[in-house]
Amino acid sequence: MSDKTMTDGSPVTADHREIDPKTGMQKGYVVLSDEERAKGFVRPVRRKYLHITCRVVTTMTQTIAETYARDPAFYDGTYCADCLDHFRVGADGEFVWDGTDERVGT
């Protein structure tokens, strides 16, 4: 059994990275499976993050938030609901958890 699924727990699809031109969002997002996330979190589960560039807060899906909490380095980038695009996360990325100075993806 795979340790990755789509956000709703369904199997990972080949075309999930296709971008919807209206929203700039991917067709779907991969997360760690329920079983993998149940092994425990190494960070708090946080759903709101600030894009430093535009100062707008975006809220992520619970299963994505739990994937970050289980494995902070799982994703290369995340979506900004104001810019309608994805940008880098990590120590030199463009996002912090809302209300903190802590970079998303660290």
User: Using CB under 5 A, which residues numbered 8 to 67 contact Zn ion?
Assistant: 51, 54
* Triad 31, 78, 14: Cα angle to 5°: 50
48: which strand partners?
Answer: 59
Closest distance of CB 33 from Zn ion, Å:
30
Nearest to 29 by CA among 83, 70, 86: 86
Contact residue for Zn ion among 80, 95, 97, 105 (CB under 5 A): 80
Closest distance of CB 55 from Zn ion, Å:
8
Determine the interface stretch with Zn ion among 2-10, 18-26, 69-77, 81-89 (rule: CB under 5 A): 81-89
Q: Does 82 bind Zn ion (CB under 5 A)?
A: yes
Nearest to 106 by CA among 75, 66, 64, 80: 75
Q: Does 81 bind Zn ion (CB under 5 A)?
A: no
Helix, strand, coil percentages for the chain (3-state, nearest 5): 10, 25, 60
Determine the interface stretch with Zn ion among 12-20, 21-29, 33-41, 74-82 (rule: CB under 5 A): 74-82
Site residues (vs Zn ion, CB under 5 A): 51, 54, 80, 82-83
